[in-house]
């Protein structure tokens, strides 16, 4: 493992090597005429580490694909810089960058065979014929398409085309592989298979992957770390569990998984926790106050599966009544209207074998919210 | 009731519907192409009339013989390559025109296809077709005014202080190339544009991404995928060029006779209709031969590029 050169603040010795592969600094990208300009990226900074499976997650139009295209070199930043292992990429045309892209549409060359598609990048780099043959064979084996080398892309299924696109992009041994929503055209079952396949390829090749998706589940299951983007900005960067358990922004909490939002006032804050008061006067405990001043209005985020449903006579907790019960197989969702509040909370309870359902529509309940389940948002 | 059912039943039969749909097209092709062609074939086998026209009931292969042989005073046949030479020259001139039109037309079409603004793109397509609004004769006379000695080019160069003297541009192969290329350029630009416009630019990005510079992306991706359009453009320029007679007549003077002029002469001044018809058939045969070779060569058009 190479020696750590990145700053201690970004180093994470557990999940990835701390060497920064792609360093994005204060990148802004404007499109359109000055009169009618669109700010696709607004001062984005990111450090993507070597050997990392890094995901850019966000809804369409959030700027994630623009950022990928800037790294690939198809667009130039309006301001800011992008470095690859300390060397500036800015200004280099795409064909001089040691990064390769797997396109959303695959962009396989329709007039070439599968093998010729994979061979293309090697030819451009001037490999010898024997080396190319060898490499093409190895790449096709890597994506399990050994026997399809002579076919045209149009003769392959969507999943197979996807694997050809991967083999083609990996053949050049890029320092970084960029993947632009590569799984979005596949059906669910195939998508799950390819998710596993992608993880395997990343581990086997040891190449840094930058993966763009709008699918939060895909992002959570595949990434070492991910960045949530919205309106051209990076809102939060972290490991999947960090982003799920401790979202700091309303958009992040909402975009990843399901969340209940509660408006509250910070009553008091201490080292071991903080107390928040809802408009009904009921109080909630949270592990941290995140620097909000006492008396300020804040938004609390609570995951539905962290809330426990209890009988109304069970003492502490928020009183309410069950509006609706939705059965999901693995679990059951309860929509609970809170007493004295114009708000409903979603509670998710796992279904256990043999256990009869305890609560029904119309039942009064109490919601037990443990302090570690309450996240205080910055906005 | 039963009659209505029967007619509906008849119309519902796929074979009947197909015949009805294809009928008008077949009728037009039959009346305006096959019939005249048959007539031409018939005429080419007749004896020429003494004062023009033909003897309608007297058959002879004389017209085809005349194409390759000449009768000397004794009535013996001698090989005569004059007409073959005219054919050869026409093919060469048409081939050169195709090359020139391709050299000018491909970059033009590429430029047009790469424009982001669809309104500007449509404006460019429109501008390519503008020359068609003026009669071919007028356009050729315009070239005469430009190219002739003391014409616009000569005088323009003189006005710029360059005085090369009369350039003798008119009535040369050069002036024919210029005229033909100019006349048929839209037939090259439009099909190439059509195939380039359909080209997925992400494929070009993918080529860049894999390390291809502009030249190699053009060579390996753009040109192969635009090949159907390029082939169509070449055929559309080559075939009418072979039979062109206005441009060679006006811009080439009478120095270089081309097939078109030769055929026209037979129906006009030479009053040899059978020979004119035979020449037209010889041309048709050669064009079909050339197209067949072309089709065989490019039979396997790139998959997905059509």
Contact B210 A103 (CB under 8 A): no
In Å, how far is B268's CA from the nearest CA of chain A?
A: 51
Q: Regarding beta strands A20-31 and B46-48, do their DSSP bridges make them parallel or antiparallel, or are they unpaired?
A: unpaired
Q: pLDDT confidence of B7, banded at 50, 70, 90?
A: low
Helix or strand run (H / E) with residue A213: strand A208-213
Per-residue pLDDT at A287: 81
Per-residue pLDDT at B2: 52
Residue to substitute from A31, A66, A89, A109, interface B, most B β-carbons within 10 A: A109
The span from the CA of B249 to the CA of A179, in Å, is 61
Contact A95 B225 (CB under 8 A): no
Query: Which residues in chain A are closer than 8 Å to B216, comparing Cβ atoms?
Result: 124
Contact B208 A125 (CB under 8 A): no
SS in 3 state form for chain B? CHHHHHHHHHHHCHHHHHHHHHHHHHHHHHHHHHHHHHHHHHHHCEEECECECEEEEEECCHHHHHHHEEECCCCCEEECCHHHHHHHHHHHHHHHHHHHHHHHHHHHHHHHHCCCCHHHHHHHHHHHHHHHHCCHHHHHHHHHHHHCCCCHHHHHHHHCCCCCCCCCCCCCHHHHHHHHHHHHHHHHHHHHHHHHHHCCHHHHHHHHHCCCCHHHHHHHHHHHHHHHHHHHHHHHHHHHHHHCCHHHHHHCCCCCCCHHHHHHHHHCCCCCHHHHHHHHHHHHHHHHHHHHHHHHHCCCCCCCCC
Query: Hey, is A37 helix, strand or coil?
Result: coil
Comparing C-alpha atoms, which of B139, B125, B126, B228 is closest to residue B180?
B139
Average pLDDT in chain A:
88
- State yes or no: pLDDT of A378 exceeds 70: yes
In Å, how far is A221's CA from the nearest CA of chain B?
A: 28
Mean predicted confidence (pLDDT) in A325-336: 90
Q: Regarding beta strands A297-302 and A374-376, do their DSSP bridges make them parallel or antiparallel, or are they unpaired?
A: antiparallel
| A65 close to B (CB below 8 A) | no
Residues in chain A: 379
Mean predicted confidence (pLDDT) in B180-200: 93
Comparing C-alpha atoms, which of A304, A266, A307, A259 is closest to residue A283?
A266
Q: Regarding beta strands A176-180 and A99-102, do their DSSP bridges make them parallel or antiparallel, or are they unpaired?
A: parallel
Query: Hey, is A31 helix, strand or coil?
Result: strand
| B218 close to A (CB below 8 A) | no
Per-residue pLDDT at A10: 42
Residue to substitute from A75, A120, A132, A174, interface B, most B β-carbons within 10 A: A120
Q: pLDDT confidence of A8, banded at 50, 70, 90?
A: very low
Query: Which residues in chain B are closer than 8 Å to A73, comparing Cβ atoms?
Result: 208
The predicted complex's ipTM stands at 0.81
Query: For residue range B258-306, what is the model confidence (pLDDT) as tens digits?
Result: 888 888 888 888 888 889 899 998 888 888 888 888 778 766 544 444 3
- State yes or no: pLDDT of A286 exceeds 90: no
Facing residues of A100 across strands?
A177
Choice among A139-153, B101-115, B256-270 with the minimum mean pLDDT: B256-270
Per-residue pLDDT at A227: 96
Residue to substitute from B201, B207, B209, interface A, most A β-carbons within 10 A: B209
Q: How many CB pairs under 8 A join A and B?
A: 70
Query: For residue range B224-254, what is the model confidence (pLDDT) as tens digits?
Result: 999 989 988 998 999 888 888 888 888 887 6
Q: pLDDT confidence of A2, banded at 50, 70, 90?
A: very low
Query: Which residues in chain B are closer than 8 Å to A127, comparing Cβ atoms?
Result: none
Query: Hey, is A117 helix, strand or coil?
Result: helix
- State yes or no: pLDDT of A211 exceeds 90: yes
No. of helices (H) and no. of strands (E), chain A? 8, 20
Cβ pair B261, B280 in contact under 8 A: no
Query: Hey, is A41 helix, strand or coil?
Result: strand
Q: Which residue of B has its CA nearest to A75?
A: B205
Q: What angle do CA A189, A195, A199 make, to 5 degrees?
A: 155
Per-residue pLDDT at B302: 44
Mean predicted confidence (pLDDT) in B40-45: 89
- State yes or no: pLDDT of A56 exceeds 90: yes
Mean predicted confidence (pLDDT) in B54-71: 83
Q: Tokens at residue A95, please?
A: 């064909």
Query: CB under 8 Å to A283, separation ≥6 — which residues?
Result: A267, A275, A276, A277
Query: Which residues in chain A are closer than 8 Å to B202, comparing Cβ atoms?
Result: 103, 105, 107
């Amino acid at each position: 493992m190479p020696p750590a050169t990145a700053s201690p603040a970004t180093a994470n010795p557990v999940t990835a090597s701390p060497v920064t592969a792609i360093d994005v600094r204060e990148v802004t990208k404007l499109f359109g005429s000055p009169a009618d300009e669109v700010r696709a990226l607004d001062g984005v900074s990111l450090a993507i580490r070597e050997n990392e499976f890094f995901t850019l997650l966000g809804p369409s139009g959030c700027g994630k694909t623009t950022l990928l295209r800037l790294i690939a070199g198809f667009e130039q930043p309006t301001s800011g810089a992008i470095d690859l292992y300390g060397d500036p990429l800015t200004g280099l045309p795409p064909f001089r960058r040691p990064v390769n892209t797997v396109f959303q549409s695959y962009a396989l060359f329709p007039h070439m065979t599968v093998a010729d598609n994979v061979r293309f990048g090697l030819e451009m780099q001037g490999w010898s014929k024997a080396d190319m043959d060898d490499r093409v064979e190895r790449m096709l084996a890597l994506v399990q398409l050994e026997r399809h080398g002579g076919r045209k892309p149009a003769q392959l299924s969507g999943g197979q085309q996807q694997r050809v696109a991967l083999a083609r992009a990996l053949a050049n041994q890029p320092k970084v592989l960029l993947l632009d929503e590569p799984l979005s055209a596949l059906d669910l079952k195939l998508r799950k298979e390819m998710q596993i396949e992608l993880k395997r390829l990343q581990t086997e090749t040891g190449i840094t992957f930058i993966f763009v998706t709008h699918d939060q589940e895909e992002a959570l299951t595949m990434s070492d770390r991910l960045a949530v983007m919205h309106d051209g900005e990076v809102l939060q960067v972290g490991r999947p569990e960090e982003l799920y358990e401790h979202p700091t922004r309303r958009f992040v909490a909402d975009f990843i998984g399901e969340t209940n939002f509660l408006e509250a006032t910070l009553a008091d804050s201490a080292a071991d926790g903080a107390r928040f008061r809802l408009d009904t006067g009921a109080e909630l405990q949270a592990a941290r106050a995140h620097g909000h001043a006492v008396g300020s209005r804040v938004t609390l985020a609570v995951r539905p599966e962290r809330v426990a449903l209890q009988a109304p006579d069970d003492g502490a907790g928020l009183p309410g009544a069950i509006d609706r019960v939705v059965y999901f197989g693995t679990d059951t969702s309860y929509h609970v209207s809170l007493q004295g509040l114009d708000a409903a909370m979603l509670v998710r309870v796992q279904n256990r074998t043999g256990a009869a359902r305890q609560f029904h529509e119309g039942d009064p309940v109490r919601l037990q919210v443990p302090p570690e389940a309450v996240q205080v948002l910055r906005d | 009731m039963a009659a209505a059912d029967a007619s509906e039943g008849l119309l519902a039969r796929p074979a009947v519907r197909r015949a009805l749909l294809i009928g008008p097209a077949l009728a037009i092709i039959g009346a305006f192409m096959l019939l005249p062609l048959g007539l031409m074939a018939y005429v080419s086998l007749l004896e020429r009339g003494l004062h023009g026209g033909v003897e309608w009931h007297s058959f002879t292969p004389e017209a085809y013989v005349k194409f390759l042989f000449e009768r000397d005073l004794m009535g013996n046949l001698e090989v005569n390559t004059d007409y073959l030479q005219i054919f050869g020259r026409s093919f060469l001139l048409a081939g050169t025109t195709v090359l020139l039109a391709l050299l000018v037309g491909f970059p033009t079409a590429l430029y047009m296809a790469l424009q982001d603004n669809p309104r500007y793109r449509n404006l460019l397509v429109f501008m390519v077709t503008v020359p068609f609004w003026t009669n071919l004769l007028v356009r050729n006379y315009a070239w005469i005014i430009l190219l002739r000695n003391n014409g616009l080019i000569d005088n323009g160069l003189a006005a710029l202080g360059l005085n090369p003297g009369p350039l003798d541009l008119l009535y040369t192969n050069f002036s024919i190339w210029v005229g033909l290329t100019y006349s048929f350029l839209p037939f090259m630009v439009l099909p190439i544009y059509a195939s380039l416009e359909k080209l997925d630019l992400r494929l070009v990005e993918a080529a860049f991404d894999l390390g291809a510079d502009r030249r190699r992306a053009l060579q390996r991706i753009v040109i192969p995928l635009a090949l159907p359009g390029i082939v169509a453009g070449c055929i559309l320029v080559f075939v009418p060029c072979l039979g062109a007679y206005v441009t060679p007549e006006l811009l080439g003077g009478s120095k270089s006779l081309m097939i078109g002029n030769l055929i026209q002469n037979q129906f006009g001044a030479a009053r040899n209709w059978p020979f004119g018809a035979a020449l037209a058939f010889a041309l048709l045969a050669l064009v079909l031969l050339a197209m067949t070779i072309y089709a065989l060569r490019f039979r396997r058009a790139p998959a997905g590029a059509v």
